[in-house]
Every structure is written in C-alpha cells, then in structure tokens.
Amino acid sequence: MKINENFVKACQAFLQPEQLLLDEPMSKHTTFEIGGPADCLIFPASLEEVQKVLSLVKEYELPLTMLGNGSNMLVRDKGIRGVVIKFAKPMSAIRCEGTRIIAGAGALLKDVSECAAANGLTGLEYACGIPGSIGGAIFMNAGAYDGETKNVADIVRAVDAQGNLHTFSHEEMELGYRHSVFQSNGEAICEVELQLERGDEQEIRAKIADYTQRRESKQPLEMPSAGSTFKRPEGYFAGTLIDQTGLKGFSVGGAQVSTKHAGFVVNAGGATAADVVNLIHEVQRRVKEKHGVELQPEVRMIGEE
C-alpha cells in the first residue's frame, strides 16, 4: 500500500529526515539480512515522539508493526504494509541508579549487560551475547545459559495505541517462556527498569568471558541469522534433534541449517524469506517423522509473503 501522504507530512513536522524512511528494505534492519520493504519505517528518539506517532497511526487507521534490533524475526519477501516503528539507537540510553539499570527500549542487550558489569551488578551476565535490544528481550522474555529476562525485569513503561503512557509491574508483564503480555496487548515498550544485585566485578567479568567463549565456539555468529530458530521442546534440545536427523548443512536456496549449530538457520547468501520458511517446514517435518517431536519456531514471522 502507498502510505498516506498526510500521515507522512504530520510525522515530518516533528521527526528529522533520517527518522522516517519510505519503502525501506527491511533486509537492512534485521539480523537475518532478509526482508522486503516497509511502507514507512520510523525511528523515534523519545517517548513523546512514540506517543505522537502512535496517535497518528490510530488517526489514519494504518497497520502497525514494532521491532527492536531486528533479531529473532523474519520479515517476509513482500515486506510490511503500513508503519514500522523501530526502537534503535535514538532510544538506547542506559543509566545506573544503585542496583537498578534504566534503559531505553532500543538499548542493545550486550550494552546493558556491560553497564551492569561495569557497575559491579550481577544478574545480566547471560545477556552478554544475545543479539537483541532490551525492549525485544522483554517482548520475548529472552534468555540464555539458564538466565531469563523475567528474573531481572522490574518495571516497563509502554505506550498504547492512543498514545497513553502505562507503567507495568513485574507481575503485569506476564513473562513466561518466550512470552510476555506485550505480544497480545499491542503496546510499545519504551523504557525498562531492571533490578539487579551487587556482585564481584571480577567474577561477573569471568562469567561473561565464559559465556562469550562458549557462544563463539558453538554458534554461527559469523553468519546472518535470527538467533535460535526453534523453541526448546520439553525434555529435548532442538539443535540436538535436528543434528540427529542428519540435517546439519541442509539448505533450501540461500537458507541453511548451520553446520556449526543445528539449532540455527543462517542466511548463507542471498536467502529469501521463502527459502527460510520452506527450510523450517522441512526441518519440522523430518524431525517429527524421526523423533515424534513437533518443533515450534521461536522466530517471529511478519509481513506479506
């Protein structure tokens, strides 16, 4: 769809030119490096700008999609209709107050983890290598190495479709395995407060170094991917099941099951979203056939096929 010109003009009245892009390829804005164009991609720089944009989106009755760093998602080949709000560098400020860290939704997890370490705070070591933003981590309740966002998330400030600001307590976030209330309520996560504990900086750094070494040795960090492709099935590891099915290195078009870690689908060069989807379906089919286990994608799929 062609985006409403009056909507664009209204947004341009308070956004800088680089904050509003039309027909922008989403392959430039996702860690998979895949995806067709967004009709209108907006990078808000403040809570007030988020409120204004959401009010205008509602006024002009436009479809809305929100994302953080663009990890853990696959944008389909025809792109995204309507407005995409991306929480990125303009909303990535991080500050430490005692044992609390307050971060803009666009702050990268690795930067929030580093801030915690620098201030002798423990609880975020697991996040040092997750390729997402803190807003995305809340949205998906991201986790690794037995750590989860729900263990440290205390308060979230989010904006609803009318542009109203709401504060969510830990309980109100409804954080579960790769789940939060924000997946259903449509509110835009703008700021996150984390509650951490005092720790020994040397021990914290040692744990981060250990996690980093493990991640670098086992995961295909040198290739574009969305992160872990499948949720962990109860009692199993997705990567192990896929490996045991003989699918390491299996490819469809430019999409490939990583030869380094079978739990990752990577863009081996020129992959389309259709390649990835077809590969995922084939992996699911073969794993179910061999092991009787249904793998569920962890990657969010958005946009038009």
How far is 101 from 116, CA to CA, in rounded Å? 7
**Is residue 89 predicted with pLDDT exceeding 90?**
no
In degrees, rounded to 5, the angle at the alpha carbon of residue 180 between the alpha carbons of residues 179 and 183 is: 90
- The arithmetic mean of pLDDT across residues 63-88, rounded, is 94
Among 47-61, 129-143, 256-270, the range scoring the smallest mean pLDDT is 129-143
Nearest to 129 by CA among 30, 227, 28, 11: 227
**pLDDT for the residue 178:** 85
**Is residue 134 predicted with pLDDT exceeding 90?**
yes
How far is 269 from 262, CA to CA, in rounded Å? 17
**Is residue 1 predicted with pLDDT exceeding 80?**
no
Answer for the pair 76, 51: CB distance below 8 angstroms, yes or no: no
**pLDDT for the residue 46:** 94
Confidence class of residue 143 from pLDDT cuts 50, 70 and 90? confident
Bridge partners, residue 191, by sequence: 104, 157
User: Could you tell me the domains of the chain?
Assistant: 5-89 (3.30.43.10), 92-217 (3.30.465.10), 220-302 (3.90.78.10)
Angle between helices 47-59 and 5-12 (to 10 degrees): 160
Among all chains, which residue has been given the structure tokens 């989403």? 26
218-244 per-position pLDDT tens digit: 999 999 999 999 999 999 999 999 999
Confidence class of residue 305 from pLDDT cuts 50, 70 and 90? confident
**pLDDT for the residue 304:** 92
Answer for the pair 244, 250: CB distance below 8 angstroms, yes or no: no
Confidence class of residue 53 from pLDDT cuts 50, 70 and 90? very high
Per annotation, catalytic residue among 191, 225, 298, 300: 298
- The arithmetic mean of pLDDT across residues 179-191, rounded, is 94
Q: Is 298 a catalytic residue?
A: yes
**138 SS3 class:** helix
Q: Which helix (H) or strand (E) holds 5?
A: helix 5-12
- Average model confidence (pLDDT) for the chain? 95
**Is residue 295 predicted with pLDDT exceeding 90?**
yes
What's the gap between Cα 38 and its chain centre? 17
% of residues, the chain, pLDDT over 70: 100
Phi-psi sector, 41: left (phi>0), alpha (psi -120 to 50), beta: beta
Per annotation, catalytic residue among 178, 191, 225, 300: 178
% of residues, the chain, pLDDT over 90: 86
- What pTM was computed for the model? 0.90
- The arithmetic mean of pLDDT across residues 259-266, rounded, is 96
**pLDDT for the residue 202:** 95
How far is 167 from 183, CA to CA, in rounded Å? 16
Q: Is 178 a catalytic residue?
A: yes
How far is 218 from 132, CA to CA, in rounded Å? 18
Among all chains, which residue has been given the structure tokens 């699918």? 247
Per annotation, catalytic residue among 27, 92, 113, 228: 228
Nearest to 260 by CA among 230, 220, 213: 220
